[in-house]
Homo-oligomer: A and B are copies of this chain.
Amino acid sequence: MRLQNLLLSNIKGYNGVIHNVSKLFQPLNITPNEATVKNNDMTSKSQRLMIDNGVIQPINNGLYHLLPLGMRAFDKLINLVDLHMHNVGAQKISLSSLTSAHLWETTGRYITAGAELFNLTDRHQKKYVLSPTHEESITHLIASFQPFSHKRFPLLLYQISTKFRDEMKPRFGLIRAKEFIMKDLYSFDVNIESAQLTYKTLVDAYHHIFSAIGVKYIDVLGDTGLMGGTLSHEFHYPADIGDDILLICAKCGSGKNKEVKMDDLVCQQCKSSDFHEHKGIEVGHTFMLGTRYSEPLKALYSGPEGKAPLVMGSYGLGLTRILAASLEILSLEDQLRWPALLAPYKCIIITPKEGSKESKLLGNLAVELYLSMQSLPTCQDNVILDDRSSLTIGKRLLEAKRSGYPFVIVVGKDAAASPSLIEVHNTMSNDCLKFTKSELLDYLGNNQKNYDILEKIHINL
């Protein structure tokens, strides 16, 4: 196949595809140091770095394409979320993006959501909204069947899908976009007590997901706002560009969004009145909705005592926002840094420069290393070869660091020495280690652990 590296024909018995940087679609858009930054929409570090490194591409105001590196990271986030949703017995579905405006009129949100709703009509003049969230759709779905027996509940349904919001001022790239990808889950229970258990289960699952991503986050009591209901929790990544102000108790660490009404400035957990303010980017929000939607849309269950409205919860994760906000927090000014679990590739191998002494002496060492690494469970499908050997090692090393590959592996001069040593640059710790091939494989075989430790160190700073 033309699309594979020709070197492969020299490697007996390998018929897989090699990931090569020469074939990677990663349009770099690095602003020269001396240039004036023209685009005043570049309002956040993650936005700039994701665009400069070919992770996303901006189109119109608030609209973006995910390019291959962004998509790979995003698919990893989806896998993580699917796993945790599966673990709590949630079932995956896909709800139509076009929702009848009539349903939103029934719950009153057609008016309250106002100008943020994208509206459209079909050729028969039927009115739709491009759903920014799916409480109306899912409640209508449940209501469209005869009331289910109370034995069927709790029922947890979720989807991962594109949402639309006609933002007045989209900004910060994927952090506040007009089109974004959310995981939204809806729960149905037969009474408040059961709904509270479900609520706790989901909040716990969110803690597991955010812990696995590994970026420091805060959970606070939230504002129910337009969504309605009786209780909400917000998950935030603390960041200077955050739109929300969080009040965190200095004594016990519990907190709330400043928008939540407080009778007095006393912590409900520990009665302290010493609060710190943090700015936060909201990345997840759970709502105990009660019967806010099930009553108007008639989503009932049938129990021993007759029919009654289901008690609902709604649980959102802003997936594209989580991706961008993680990068906002972890990255340096001129270098992307990915959460360990979400890095598009964990390792990049830089081949010797074409025509150099090493190039002649080392033959296919870089490709052989690639194949050995692929067979490590910790690296499988997570290695890419920078085969652009017409470029200097230095230039490729710089690019690799800027793109944030956690491990940059250089097959260079030291590899042609005796003993043959391979350089490993850890972009999280900024270390450079030298290993023989077998030491390197041992190191990378344990690399999830190494990386986790470095990740934690970084976060605790």
Q: Which A residues lie at the B interface, using CB under 8 A?
A: 1-4, 17, 22-25, 27, 29, 57, 59-60, 63-68, 70-72, 74-75, 86-89, 91-98, 100, 115, 118-120, 122-123, 126, 130, 137, 140-141, 144-145, 148, 151-152, 154-157, 161-162, 164, 166, 168, 178-179, 181, 197, 201
User: Chain B residues near A140 (CB, 8 Å)?
Assistant: 59
Enumerate 11 A-B pairs (CB-CB under 8 Å) in ascending A order. A3-B89, A23-B89, A25-B155, A57-B144, A59-B140, A63-B98, A65-B95, A66-B93, A97-B179, A122-B178, A123-B166
Q: Give A28's nearest chain B residue, CB to CB.
A: B145
Is A93's CB under 8 angstroms from B64's CB? Answer: no
In the bound complex, CA of A148 to CA of B123 (Å): 41
> Contact partner of A65 among B25, B88, B94, B148, CB < 8 A?
B94
Is A137's CB under 8 angstroms from B65's CB? Answer: yes
> Contact partner of A94 among B1, B23, B74, CB < 8 A?
B74
In the bound complex, CA of A63 to CA of B99 (Å): 9
In the bound complex, CA of A122 to CA of B140 (Å): 27
Q: Give A67's nearest chain B residue, CB to CB.
A: B93
> Contact partner of A87 among B17, B59, B67, B181, CB < 8 A?
B17
Q: Give A197's nearest chain B residue, CB to CB.
A: B2
User: Chain B residues near A120 (CB, 8 Å)?
Assistant: 118-120, 130
* Known A74-B94, A94-B181; further 9 A-B contacts with Cβ < 8 A: A1-B201, A2-B201, A3-B88, A3-B201, A25-B155, A29-B145, A65-B93, A65-B96, A71-B92
Closest approach, in angstroms, between the C-beta of A370 and any C-beta of chain B? 16
Is A141's CB under 8 angstroms from B96's CB? Answer: no
> Contact partner of A122 among B25, B94, B166, CB < 8 A?
B166
Q: Give A3's nearest chain B residue, CB to CB.
A: B89
Q: Give A390's nearest chain B residue, CB to CB.
A: B151
Q: Give A126's nearest chain B residue, CB to CB.
A: B60
Instruction: Give the copy number.
Output: 2
In the bound complex, CA of A201 to CA of B1 (Å): 9
In the bound complex, CA of A93 to CA of B65 (Å): 7
Closest approach, in angstroms, between the C-beta of A39 and any C-beta of chain B? 13
Using known A-B contacts A3-B156, A60-B126, A89-B17, determine if residue A94 contacts B66 with beta carbons closer than 8 Å. yes
Of A64, A74, A95, A201, chain B has the most CB atoms within 10 Å of the CB of: A95
Is B64's CB under 8 angstroms from A96's CB? Answer: yes
User: Chain B residues near A137 (CB, 8 Å)?
Assistant: 59, 65
User: Chain B residues near A179 (CB, 8 Å)?
Assistant: 96-98
Is A96's CB under 8 angstroms from B59's CB? Answer: yes
Q: Give A89's nearest chain B residue, CB to CB.
A: B3
Closest approach, in angstroms, between the C-beta of A97 and any C-beta of chain B? 6
Closest approach, in angstroms, between the C-beta of A301 and any C-beta of chain B? 13
Is A75's CB under 8 angstroms from B93's CB? Answer: no
Of A66, A86, A98, A178, chain B has the most CB atoms within 10 Å of the CB of: A98
Is A157's CB under 8 angstroms from B25's CB? Answer: yes
Closest approach, in angstroms, between the C-beta of A7 and any C-beta of chain B? 15
The 3 closest A-B pairs by CB, nearest first: A3-B89, A66-B94, A68-B91
Using known A-B contacts A115-B123, A162-B162, determine if residue A24 contacts B91 with beta carbons closer than 8 Å. yes
In the bound complex, CA of A181 to CA of B160 (Å): 14
> Contact partner of A86 among B17, B23, B145, CB < 8 A?
B17
Is B178's CB under 8 angstroms from A145's CB? Answer: no
In the bound complex, CA of A2 to CA of B194 (Å): 10
Closest approach, in angstroms, between the C-beta of A119 and any C-beta of chain B? 7
In the bound complex, CA of A148 to CA of B22 (Å): 12
User: Chain B residues near A92 (CB, 8 Å)?
Assistant: 68, 71-72, 75
Q: Give A68's nearest chain B residue, CB to CB.
A: B91
